[in-house]
Each structure stands twice: as structure tokens, then as C-alpha cells.
Amino acid sequence: MIASDMAQERTQAAAPTDSLSLERTAYLDTLVTQATTAAALFSQFTQEEVDRIVKAMAMAGLEQAQHLARLAVEETRLGVMEDKVIKNMVASEFVYNYVKDRRTVGVIREFPERNLFEIAEPVGVLFSLTPITNPTSTVIFKCIVAVKTRNTIVFSPHPKAWRCCAEAVRIMYETAVKHGAPEGVFSCIESPTLPDNAYLMRHKDVAMIDATGGPGAVKAAYSSGKPALGVGPGNTPVYLEKTADLNCAVVDIIISKTFDNGTICASEQTVVIDDEIYDATLEKFASLGAHICNEEETDLLGRTVIDPQTGFMQPMAVGQKATDIARFIGLKVKPETKLLIAPIRGVGREHPLSVEKLFPVLAVYRAKSVNEALRVCVDVNHAGGVGHTAIVFSRDDEVVRQFGEVINAGRIIVNSPGSIGALGAVYNDLVPTFSFGCGTGGGNSTTDNVNIYHYLNIKRIARRTQNHMWFRVPNQIYFNMNAVENVRNFPSRSTVLVTNPALEQMGHEDIVRRNLGPDTHLHVLVIPDTEPEINTIMRGVEELNLYKADQIIALGGGSVIDAAKIMKLKYESPEADLEELAAPFLDLRKRVVQYPKEKTKRVRLIAIATTSGTGSEVTPFAVLTDKASGRKVTLADYSISPDVAIVDPQFVLSMPKSLTADTGIDCLTHALEAAVSNYASPYTDSNAMQAIRLAFRYLPSAFEHPQDEEARSMMHNAACIAAMAFSNASLGVNHALAHAFGARFGVAHGRANALMLPHVIAYNAAVPAKFMPSPYTQGYAANKKYATIADLLGLGGNTVEEKVAKLIAATERLLDQLGFPRSIAELGISKEEFERAIPGLVKVTFDDPSWRSNPRMPLMKELVELFRKAYEGRGASQRSRVNGEQTT
């Protein structure tokens, strides 16, 4: 941009529109109205119609390239006519070649594997500024891109290039309309002024501004409140590194810097040359027509071609030949001189030639090291060229990569001329353009080479995806009486048996020992039968290391098996951070934390359940207590599931009644929650339903007649089957409530579940106040699922509501049979104490990930109500329905 025009540009933003006459406003409105109508009509065009017009326009650009180039040079007095011919041809032919096969109408891209496709929507009417440096080529380029995307343009050329631009617009317009484009597709303001621009930038019917102009114009565009594309100023650093092909590099730089007398803003400005090749480089330049300035001449140049007041290049020098510049400032050079080269020692105001110079004057700098070279290039880049272009000549890929990382430029050109290289599609595969986005560094919204996709609103049609689901359980599950004998099928040199004191005393450990191979060394680790703490885990890991265990057998209930799972994890992956692995997640497949896959050693885990039960022998979960904070830490990953599960009912025959009831109801709750979970599938449903059926049928017998082997066996299986279901379908709000309540008031897990269960069934079966967003389910079906369960249990009922009521009643009868307290109040907790605890309970419940698969999204106030109903006890939910209240 010429300095004086820069000054004019800087006032663009403040250009008053009230200085426009009514006639002028009417004239501008007419241009926009015509463009609006044309854009509306254009929106009906097919891809074939558009492409036919674009091809004709490209041909016209090629045929008129010389005519327009001559006009441009005559009017602007800048540049080289022959080079402007090339620019016009690039704008026609190369841009056409890029766009011709690209879809810009209707469906433009499809991603069937993602169930996604894109449809193009034109932006509408563009208000486009064009520069003095590339007037006609920019017009040709923008017209082709606009027609390809079914948009229309009102052009405002640079005032000192408006005639040649108007002619280019005329040629493009007549060609386009002749081949079917709607009238009004392009127009060009006659004798454009800053108030014209300001008016149109705010015009209600202009959809977007494309400002290929100076910083002031670009800033005005972005400040207008309209979507805008802009360009930024350049100050292109070049690193000529010692491994470069010197011959090629010097010729490329001369080609680029003299192309159109240096008017392309991507052209080389300061060449930083490695010390090793500095002298040879300058000799080469000199041999090919460059004048190497001495110190005095450099000083003269700096004082004349750069304005000492502003620090910007002098307008009189822009686009002028090297010999004309030299003559003008009194510098003696040979008549065939192409380029003036000025050695500089730094970057900044003290080194005036380190700024952008849109004419054939090139600064050079001698660098003693790669670091120094890159540092100076960064300095040049930041001296008015951030985001624009940078060039490196090197055959060292590491240098190229480093250069690309430290320099902030939208285009990093390697081993090619900068100006033509940045245009794209000539020396490289960059998108061809005459509008260089410079990103935030240049005050623009993109670093792209602007082309067709910037003239489109792209609509993305996203079909619902069927997320793949899974059913994962240990691949070996042995069940029925004496299933423990299968342990002998797993050879082991050193086995650590993890169990609790009660089981050790009962002699269950001996049953396992008898079934191990004769060569297996067995060590017994007795741990407390409470939720494992970190100390317990680490003690276990020490033992595993001490005995170099290749097998762990966990013999116990959920706590023992969970402890063994975590011991295995830490034994195999000592660096695993349990706290980190317990981080919350929403979707198992997208979780932030990944469980270790690389293991220093491997150990087999066989889980033998002695309760019916948590089902921990087949689940991917383990719960740890942090004693210091009292917090429960839940680990969840299929990698921690046991390798082998043994469901042998002999180990549960001696379970006391209270434990039978607690673990039995835990099993039933698992199954009920898995059945209505948002992650339920036909695979988990089959398990859940079977487990429910078994629990209702056999739990009372197992409770009343502990030695009933069939009942014990069926309940033991039910617990494992229910766990297979919830291992894949997850749980729900019942467990979240029970976790919070049980931890706060020291109530056994099964008992806590029992207190919530009837109320949660009623809650889930009612129409939700808030549905749970879930990509895995279609529609709301919890009530129907409960009804299906009621049918499965033969409970009767005609409507869904009746069946749900019967299921709740059957559940309550079961809880009565098992002797459970039917309200929290019955536990002796006072109402006042409970009410005080509710806020904390609700918070902990809401933090519990269990509810995230619940079919109904629990609101905080609903959790409060559920806790209160559980406090009140039997029939509380039913009374809510009878009184006409929505069940929570």
C-alpha cells in the first residue's frame, strides 16, 4: 500500500456518510438492489449452469489479459505490464483450474461414515475493495470466485485504479450475463470515495465485505458490524540458509522481487543470509543484475525511499523500476540493474530499510548462526508483517520446520519465489488467490488464501448416529456347586489369595488351596472386610511383589474382590495414579484419562464371590476409600475386570440372613436399574430380566432357608447375571441415593438401596420433568420396561400404570419378607437431623456418576423429594399420586 494512501486508509473508519448527497446514496442503493435481486435469482442456478459461466469468464480473462494489464499500468503508473499480464492469466487460468471441479452448489461434501453431509449456501451480496497494486487481477479472481459460489459483487476499486478495474468488471460482467448469469451480478462504483465505502460497508443488504486493501480499509471492514474478509500488511523475511541451492535461490529472489516491480505484498523484503554463504550470495546477485550498495548508498536509500517521518515506504517508489528509483535519488547504477540490494545491520527505525518496500529494493543481513538468523527473521516478521508471508531457502528439513514454528505467517514458502509462490498453485499446492488472509496478527479472521469456501455459508446436515454399543464380561465364568474346582485349570507358580478374616476362619481358604496345582506356592493375604483403603492396597502390592505372584485369587464379597482388582492394577502398572484414574467421565469412550495399557508384568485375577452379591466378580468397577478425606474413589474400566469368575454357591450357604437380604436386594436393584438404564440393550435386558425373575423367585427362600441349595445357587447366579447387565448398562439414581445415604449414616449398601427402591421405581415410571439426554435411547420407555417386568413376574394389571403399581407393591412385599426397615425414620434418625443432612446428601448424590444412565434426569429438588419419601417410607410415592401430585 502506498504511504499516502495508507494515511487516507487510516481515516476510512471515520469517513462520514452524511457527506453523501441524496443522488449519490440513491445511486449506491441501486447498485446494491440490483446485486440483491441478482443474488436471489442466482440462488436457483445449478452447478452445471454456474460452471459454464465460470469457464467463459476464465476464457475472457485470458483473452483480455494484455488489454487489462496495459490499462492498469497506464492508470496506476505502477508495475510491469508484462508481469501484470501474467497476474491476469494466473487469476483466470489457475483460479479456474482450482475451482472447476469443486462442488459449490447443493451437496458439496459427504461423510457417510459420520452420517454427515454439507450443503453450500451463497453468502449473498459482497462489497469488495480492490487494491492499486493488483487491480485487474484481483477483479478477475473475485468475479470468478463469486460466480462459482452464486454470489454477486459491488466493487469499490482503489480511486487511482478505478478505470482499469471498471473495465475488468465490465468484461467479466458482460461475459457472465451472456452465458446466463443474472443481470446485476457485478457492478463497479464510478469514482469511488471513502464515504461511498463507509456507506456500503453498513448497507443493510450487503452480506459480507471483502476488503483487499490497506490496513485502514480492512479495519473499517471489520469494524462495520458485517462479516468481513480482509488482508494484512506484509514485511516478508527470507532466510537463505547455508544448505540452500544458491543458484536457484538467488534467481528465485530476483524473479520475485522484480515481479511487477515488487508490488505483490508477499514479495521478499529482507534476506537474512548465513555467514558462510553471504559473500558468495552477494556476488551471485551482482552477476545477475543486482546493484550491491555500499554503506553510503545504503544510507542514501534509507533516507529517500523510506519516509523519515512515518517510517513507511515512499509512495513515489512503489512499483517503480530499480533504475528509475536510482536515478530519482541520485544513485549511480548500471543501466541493466534489476534490483538494489542494501546490507543492513538490524531491524527497526534505526534501520529504515528493514520495513516493507513494494519496489525492487532488497535489504540483506549477515547472520552468524541459525539462531541469530531466525531471531532477525522474527524481528522482520514483527516489523509490520505478522501473519502475512515468510520464505526459507534450505535443504535442511529441520531448519524448515524450525522456521515454520517461530515465524508467524499464513504462508511459509520454501525454496520458491515469494510473491508468485504465495499466490498459490504456481510453485506449490497453496490455494490460488489474490487475497492473503493474515490471521489475527494482521487483523484478519483467517490466514487462508481466500477462495471459494470463504464465499460460502456451509450448512452441515448431521444425522443421528447409531452409536455402537458393547457387551463385555470376563471370558470365563464358572458356576454351580463346586465350580471352584476349575481353579486347577489355571497353572500358577505363585498365587496370592486375598480374603477377609471371617472367611479365613470359616476355612473357605482351604477349599481353594485344595484345588490348586501341586506346584503352586500359595500365600494368603487377609484384609479387612470393609471398602478397601489405599494402605491395604499398597500392602497387597508389596506382597505381590515379594512373592512375584503370577496369579491373584480374590475370595470374598465386593470389598475383597475390589481390593484385589486395584492391587492387580498397581502391581501391573506401578506408575498408575489411582486418583487420576478415578476422574469423573461422561462417556467411557471419550474419557480424558486412559487406563494403562503398557504393563511391566501380568497377573491373572480369579474372583470367587462369597456373597450374592455385588457381582464384583464380573464388573469393571472397584471402589476405594480414601481414609484421610473419607472420600470414595471409584475406578471404572474393563481392564480391571477379573480374568476368571467363579460363582460357586457352596461359598454362600453360610451367609447370615442379614447379609443374604442386603446383598440380595443389591442384586435386585442392579438388575432393575440396568433394565431401565439409558444404556440398556437387548443383551443387557436378557440378563437383567433373568436376574429380576430369579431374585423375586429365590431370594425369600434363600433368606428363610439358608441351606436351600437351589435357592442359594439361583441367587448366586442372579447376582452374577445382574452384574453382567449393569457392567454394560450401568446403574441409576437408586444407587446414587444409596451411596450418599449409606456413607453419611453408616447404613449397609443393600439396606440403603432397599429404602430408596420403591420410590425410585415410581419416580422413573412417571413422566419426567426433565428427560435425560442420551444418544443410546430413542424415546422414553422406563414405564413400559417396568410393565414388562411386571408381566415377567406374572403380577397382572391391564395398563402400564397398573403394572407399575403392581411391581412397586411386589417390591414392597419382598422388602417386608426380608425384614427391611421400610423408612429411614425406622432407623432411628430424627427428622431434624435428616433434614439438616439433606443438602449434603443431594450434593453427594448429584456428584455420583451412577445416575447419569438413569432414564429420568434427576433435578436437585427431585432428589430432595426422593430422600424425604424414603424418610417417610412405605406408600409415600403412592400418596403423592393419589393426591394428584406429579411423582416428584
Partner 1 sequence: MTETVISMDIDERRATAALQELSDKLDAASGKIILDFAAVHRIHASVLRGLEELAHAADQKGLAIVLRCVGLNAYRVLKLVRLTRRFSFEN
Sites of contact with partner 1 (CB under 8 A): 36-37, 39-41, 43-44, 124, 182-183
Q: Which amino acid is at 175?
A: T
If the CB atoms of residues 173 and 621 are measured against partner 1, the closer one turns out to be 173
Q: How far apart are CA 465 and CA 461, in angstroms?
A: 12
Contacts of 30 (CB under 8 A, 6+ apart): none
Answer whether 363's CB lies under 8 Å from 271's CB: yes
Number of H helices, E strands in the chain: 32, 23
If the CB atoms of residues 147 and 676 are measured against partner 1, the closer one turns out to be 147
Place of cell 430422600: 867
Kindly state the smallest distance separating residue 33's Cβ from partner 1, in Å: 9
Q: Is 265 a catalytic residue?
A: yes
**Paired sense of beta strands 268-274 and 236-240, if any:** parallel
The alpha carbon of residue 740 and the mean position of all alpha carbons in its chain are separated, in whole angstroms, by 34
The alpha carbon of residue 234 and the mean position of all alpha carbons in its chain are separated, in whole angstroms, by 31
3 state SS for 440-471: HHHCCCCCCECCHHHHEEEEEEECCCCCCCCC
Answer whether 435's CB lies under 8 Å from 411's CB: no
Kindly state the smallest distance separating residue 77's Cβ from partner 1, in Å: 40
If the CB atoms of residues 182 and 424 are measured against partner 1, the closer one turns out to be 182
Kindly state the smallest distance separating residue 154's Cβ from partner 1, in Å: 16
For the chain, the C-alpha Rg in angstroms (whole number) is 40
If the CB atoms of residues 185 and 552 are measured against partner 1, the closer one turns out to be 185
Kindly state the smallest distance separating residue 587's Cβ from partner 1, in Å: 38
Q: How far apart are CA 740 and CA 657, in angstroms?
A: 24
Measured in degrees and rounded to the nearest 5, phi and psi for residue 154 equal -105, 120
If the CB atoms of residues 45 and 726 are measured against partner 1, the closer one turns out to be 45
Q: How far apart are CA 65 and CA 87, in angstroms?
A: 8
3 state SS for 767-828: CCCCECCCCCCCCCCHHHHHHHHHHHCCCCCCCHHHHHHHHHHHHHHHHHHCCCCCCCHHHC
If the CB atoms of residues 51 and 662 are measured against partner 1, the closer one turns out to be 51
If the CB atoms of residues 106 and 491 are measured against partner 1, the closer one turns out to be 106
Kindly state the smallest distance separating residue 36's Cβ from partner 1, in Å: 6
Kindly state the smallest distance separating residue 182's Cβ from partner 1, in Å: 6
Q: How far apart are CA 845 and CA 689, in angstroms?
A: 26
Kindly state the smallest distance separating residue 44's Cβ from partner 1, in Å: 5
Q: How far apart are CA 294 and CA 299, in angstroms?
A: 9
Q: How far apart are CA 413 and CA 234, in angstroms?
A: 14
Catalytic residue among 265, 293, 377, 720: 265
Kindly state the smallest distance separating residue 48's Cβ from partner 1, in Å: 14
N-to-C CA span, the chain: 69
Cell of 872: 417417610
Residues labelled catalytic: 265
